Amino acid sequence: MRLLPSLREKKRYLAFEVLSESATPRHDFIEELRRSSQSLLGDAGSSECEMNLLFFDGTKGIVRCIPTQTMRTRAVLATIHDVRGVRVAVYVTGVSGTVKGAKRFF
């Protein structure tokens, strides 16, 4: 059974871009996102953010989180500096309340 829109929890969508020497595989980026989250926020903080990678094509992506944890999610993305030995830089290009709005920032 689906909840009514007024009863659903709100979400925020962060569009980001990864600058690296080569394309980053999705699985490796998810591993590094989890590792950075655990390192920066710990177990309790990571679960409060409810981060979920919705889309990632190797250079651009969208992460979902709850509105009160947007700044923490940005911080986690900023702390990612290498993926499997390849140096990367992650830049948040925009924050939106819908996936469609987040895609505009690409």
Q: What is the CATH number of the domain that holds 39?
A: 3.30.70.3250
Residue 2 forms part of a structural domain: no
Q: What pLDDT digit, counting tens, does each position of 34-83 carry?
A: 999 999 999 999 999 999 999 999 899 999 999 999 999 999 999 999 99
Tell me the C-alpha distance between 47 and 85, whole Å.
27
Q: What is the pLDDT of residue 9?
A: 86
pLDDT at residue 22 tops 90: no
Decide if 105 is inside a domain.
no
Is residue 5 included in any domain, yes or no? no
Summarize the confidence of residues 7-21 as an average pLDDT: 92
Say yes or no to pLDDT of 106 above 80: no
Query: Which residues sit opposite 60 in a β-bridge?
Result: 17
Any domain includes 4:
no
Higher per-residue confidence, 13 vs 22:
13
Would you state the pLDDT for residue 25? Answer: 92
Percent of the chain with pLDDT over 70: 100
**Pair 31, 80: CB distance under 8 Å:** no
| Count of structural domains, the chain | 1
By residue range, what is the domain housing residue 28? 12-98
Instruction: Express as a percent the part of the chain with pLDDT over 90.
Output: 79
Per-residue pLDDT at 21: 87
